[in-house]
Amino acid sequence: MNHAASSPRRPKPATPDSARTDQACGGLITAHHGVEVKVVFTTGNHRMVRVKRSSGHVVGDDVEVVGEALRRLPRRTELRRRDGRGGIHLVAANLDVLGIVAALNSPLGFIDRAIVAARVAQLQPFVVVNKCDLDDTTALLANLHRIYTGSVPVFAISATGRTGLVPLQAFLNQGHRGVFVGSSGVGKSSLLNALCPAINLKVGKVSDHNGLGRHTTTVSTLHTLSGGGELVDTPGFRDFGLVDILAEELAIHFPGFEEHGEVSCRFRNCRHRTEPGCAVIRLVEQGQIPADRYAIYLELLSEVEADQSEARSKGWKN
């Protein structure tokens, strides 16, 4: 018996950026879930790609995907921080602005460390004072304006009350890609919900003890704002230790010192602590640099020096 030859089954056409193909597809990592990342392709399609936990990929990375292989493209910028144990963490990549969110009970020194870290990473820092609908925030806002006006933009807002958002939105809508950092409970998730309501991030309950909420974000994600610009939401953290900075460079980036950049010290590598002929010390004595700001600078200087000393010690041991 003769049987007619059955025609071969034609495979369904594959979408290059959503299937395993040998064609390289360019995209952007918009979410990191530990063992897999979400890649949004230039076509607008997206899919999840598995990665090793130690792969080093972060939200904001430009990548090429070939099948299940992920190749990271060179970064324009990267924001890194040091935790309380000395570990170094990459926060996000290819940013151009850094928003530092503050509220009552924010840890002292966090804003200054973050501003310095932003400037070292070649990002533009700005400060967002949240929960300005609370009476107790009035003094905090006045103090932050005193310290940072002239150094970085300061925005006063209430994320839950949706007040003060227009100037901040106008700033971000200029096409910036940024990330908000701040200790847990300053209202970063509430702020992102106010700026980008579609994401509907869960907000932690406010503690009766300290008036701070508990940050509930567990993965990093990137969100597009309706008026332009992008924001990365990251898990909250308390530590923002400095990375990739030398002790001699700290004064260049420290907020409040830049307006005195025209003064010169006797020694080119002056650290502004005890060196003779130090112009910064002279300005502190004259009251042109507030003593409290100089004290914070010295605190950060000691931290940077300790990190440098430890790095040299490890280098010698190796």
pLDDT of residue 4: 43
> pLDDT-derived band of residue 218, with 50, 70 and 90 as boundaries?
low
pLDDT of residue 264: 83
pLDDT of residue 13: 42
Structure tokens at 71: 């190749």
pLDDT of residue 204: 53
CA 312 to chain centroid, in Å, comes to 27
pLDDT tens digits, 47-95: 999 999 888 999 999 999 998 899 999 999 999 988 878 888 899 999 9
pLDDT tens digits, 98-128: 999 999 888 878 899 999 999 999 999 999 9
Task: Give the pLDDT mean for 14-32.
Answer: 75
Residue 285 and residue 60: Cα distance in Å, rounded? Answer: 45
pLDDT of residue 17: 59
pLDDT of residue 9: 45
Tokens 């070292």 belong to 120
Query: Please, are residues 279 and 262 in contact by the beta-carbon 8 Å criterion?
Result: no
For residue 81, the cross-strand partners are 89
Residue 18 and residue 7: Cα distance in Å, rounded? Answer: 28
> pLDDT-derived band of residue 174, with 50, 70 and 90 as boundaries?
very high
Residue 100 and residue 236: Cα distance in Å, rounded? Answer: 12
